[in-house]
């Protein structure tokens, strides 16, 4: 799994099982890989964990990174177990000769090291120097560690400077990107449970990715780690940084114009479409007046009329179905869309569907008006306001 150098941004997560329990840990690794993780990190905190890694690594579907704290010999043991990468915390492995020993062994084996700086475990000397976990302190910690690695001519390095405070995290990575030229692992540490943890993670990670900063990411959530993997994958797909592999459901926030319970329809559609595992963008819109036009970029969608649903592909209505059948019809058509393609499904549209949809739309326009005519209304407002009194 390449990291940096123009490779696609990768998703990471970490197991929560006891590493010595090989079967449970492997089951979670497979679940994480299925959820979207490209790389999985596993703690190596004792000899039993290192022994477990020796069995886990050759059976894993994705590269395994050993997470090391305090005991440098466990890093050496993890390398012997065959891991594909190490994460070292500069805040708790401080003796230079120990860091250099790990670097020598990793270099001989061609194994990369992530210098994993964390605001919550910063080297006490740096805390005394900077007063707190400032961006400058975090970057200085990374530089200090890289200096020890450089003494062994070790260059296969990734860096993270994680902070639980989002603005500090963003500033730390910006400073790091301006200071050093290594692949960067992004994350808001100890982000907490959803929804707050998701919001904090997205705020920090997405901000940096949109600035071109970051090569691999992890959502550090107090939740099932599979949720971390799914969230990371979805974020990259929403930012067009990875090809879509799952469902992207868009839906209007609902308003007084909606002819159905948009929330209930969207939730039902999401459950059924996710079970079908269709890698498409689907729209659920609350009214037929503006829905198909506003969601014309979606692969497929449904918009609600009075007692009926307008099923559309790329903004073109292909079927009109009873309201009670909206979600099932959407699911059926979505499956056919994936199998046959958009052109074939538009060509197979029900006769009269477009005409029926047009009549429904005109009837509702008479009642509701057209929210898409804002430009004409603005011009009329200006004309009225400009008349001489």
pTM of this structure = 0.86
Residues above pLDDT 90, as percent of the chain: 72
Residue 54 sits at the vertex; the CA angle it makes with 51 and 57, to the nearest 5 degrees, is 140
- DSSP assignment of 172-214, as one string? HHHHHHHH--S-BEE-BTT-BSTTHHHHHHHHHHHHHHHTT--
Architecture (CATH level 2) of domain 10-238? Alpha-Beta Barrel (3.20)
* Amino acid 348: pLDDT: 92
Which residues are CB-contacts of 354 (< 8 A; sequence separation ≥ 6)? 316, 317
Tell me: the pLDDT tens digits for 158-191? 999 999 999 999 999 999 999 999 999 999 999 9
113-to-54, 109, 210, 257, 381 alpha-carbon distances in Å? 18, 11, 25, 55, 64
* Amino acid 89: pLDDT: 93
What spatial distance separates the first Cα and last Cα of the chain, rounded to whole Å? 72
Compute the distance between CA of residue 320 and CA of residue 302 in angstroms, rounded to an integer.
9
**Domain extent listing, the chain:** 10-238, 248-374
* Amino acid 377: pLDDT: 63
**CATH code, residues 248-374:** 3.30.413.10
Compute the distance between CA of residue 326 and CA of residue 309 in angstroms, rounded to an integer.
6
Tell me: the pLDDT tens digits for 247-290? 899 888 767 666 677 888 889 999 999 999 989 999 998 877 66
Residue 23 pLDDT greater than 60, yes or no: yes
Compute the distance between CA of residue 305 and CA of residue 286 in angstroms, rounded to an integer.
8
Tell me: the pLDDT tens digits for 48-71? 999 999 999 999 999 999 999 999
Compute the distance between CA of residue 112 and CA of residue 216 in angstroms, rounded to an integer.
14
Compute the distance between CA of residue 226 and CA of residue 36 in angstroms, rounded to an integer.
8
Mean pLDDT of 345-368: 80
For 205, other C-beta atoms within 10 Å of its C-beta total 29
- DSSP assignment of 227-285, as one string? HHHHHHHHHHHHTTSS---S-EEEE----TT-SS-HHHHHHHHHHHHHHHT--SEEEEE
Q: What phi and psi, each to the nearest 5 degrees, are found at residue 206?
A: -65, -40
For 386, other C-beta atoms within 10 Å of its C-beta total 7
Compute the distance between CA of residue 195 and CA of residue 197 in angstroms, rounded to an integer.
6
Asked whether the beta carbons of 103 and 149 are under 8 A apart, the reply is: yes
């Amino acid at each position: 799994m390449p990291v940096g150098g123009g490779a696609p941004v990768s998703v990471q997560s970490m197991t929560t099982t006891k590493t010595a329990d090989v079967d449970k840990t492997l089951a979670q690794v497979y679940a994480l890989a299925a959820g979207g993780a490209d790389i999985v990190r596993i703690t190596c905190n004792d000899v039993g964990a290192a022994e477990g890694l020796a069995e886990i690594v050759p059976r894993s579907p994705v590269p395994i990174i050993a997470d090391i704290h305090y005991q440098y010999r466990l890093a050496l043991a993890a390398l012997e177990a065959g891991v594909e990468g190490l994460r070292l915390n500069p805040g708790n492995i401080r003796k230079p000769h120990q860091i250099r020993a790990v670097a020598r062994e990793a270099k001989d084996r061609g194994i990369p090291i992530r210098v994993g700086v964390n605001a919550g475990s910063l080297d006490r000397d740096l805390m005394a120097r900077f007063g707190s976990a400032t961006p400058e302190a975090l970057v200085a910690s990374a530089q200090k560690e890289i200096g020890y690695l450089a003494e062994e001519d070790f260059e296969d390095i990734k860096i993270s400077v994680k902070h639980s405070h989002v603005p500090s995290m963003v500033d730390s990575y910006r400073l790091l990107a301006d200071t050093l030229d290594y692949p960067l692992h992004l994350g808001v540490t100890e982000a907490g449970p959803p929804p707050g943890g998701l919001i904090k993670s997205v705020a920090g990670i997405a901000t940096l990715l949109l600035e071109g900063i970051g090569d691999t990411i992890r959502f550090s959530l107090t939740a099932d780690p599979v949720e971390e993997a799914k969230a990371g994958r979805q974020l990259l797909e929403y930012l067009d940084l990875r090809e879509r592999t799952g469902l992207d459901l868009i839906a209007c926030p609902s308003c007084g114009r909606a002819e159905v319970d948009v929330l209930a329809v969207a939730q039902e559609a999401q459950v059924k479409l996710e079970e079908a595992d269709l890698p498409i963008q689907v729209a659920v819109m609350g009214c037929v007046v503006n829905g198909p036009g506003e969601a014309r970029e979606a692969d497929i969608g449904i918009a609600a009329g009075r007692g009926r649903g307008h099923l559309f592909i790329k903004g073109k209505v292909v079927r009109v179905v009873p309201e009670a059948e909206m979600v099932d019809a959407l699911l059926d058509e979505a499956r056919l869309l994936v199998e046959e393609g958009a052109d074939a499904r538009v060509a197979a549209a029900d006769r009269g569907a477009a005409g029926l949809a047009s009549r429904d739309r005109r009837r509702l326009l008479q009642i509701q008006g057209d929210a898409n005519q804002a430009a004409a209304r603005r011009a009329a407002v200006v004309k009225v306001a400009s008349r001489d009194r």
